[in-house]
Amino acid sequence: EAQVTQNPRYLITVTGKKLTVTCSQNMNHEYMSWYRQDPGLGLRQIYYSMNVEVTDKGDVPEGYKVSRKEKRNFPLILESPSPNQTSLYFCASRPYLSGSGPQHFGDGTRLSIL
């Protein structure tokens, strides 16, 4: 089954404790991205990657890191999480079609930073 898998689904942690949210897709998609969703603000793009070893900042990249060493994986790293990063996070992927094409989303990761 074609899917985008995120882990963990839920995480409660404390300020400053490094964490990684994994994202994996089995559709051989070139393009992957991370979003955060906050009430009243919709989905805001954090980082995106057009292919292996190619990443770029989205609209809200501060406090986050990503890497794209393999085509299928695109982990999101919070080196020193803070409470303002408490949010619902979605990973998404699509084929690289020059700015178009449907994105497939994972089920989301709800992070709470205390």
Q: Which spans of this chain sit near other proteins (rule: CB under 8 A)?
A: 31, 33, 35, 40-45, 48, 50, 56, 58-59, 90, 92, 98-108
Indicate the residue among 35 and 85 with the shorter CB distance to other proteins. 35
Q: How far is CA 59 from CA 1, 43, 68, 97, in A?
A: 31, 10, 19, 21
Instruction: Give me the residues paired with residue 57 across strands.
Output: 47
Q: How far is CA 30 from CA 24, 38, 77, 86, 92, in A?
A: 12, 27, 20, 28, 11
In whole angstroms, how close is the CB of 22 to other proteins at the nearest point?
Answer: 16
Indicate the residue among 51 and 80 with the shorter CB distance to other proteins. 51
In whole angstroms, how close is the CB of 62 to other proteins at the nearest point?
Answer: 14
Indicate the residue among 35 and 74 with the shorter CB distance to other proteins. 35
In whole angstroms, how close is the CB of 84 to other proteins at the nearest point?
Answer: 19
Q: Which residues contact 101 (CB under 8 A, 6 or more apart)?
A: 31, 94, 95
Least Cα distance to 91 among 35, 29, 14 occurs for 35
In whole angstroms, how close is the CB of 30 to other proteins at the nearest point?
Answer: 11
Indicate the residue among 52 and 80 with the shorter CB distance to other proteins. 52
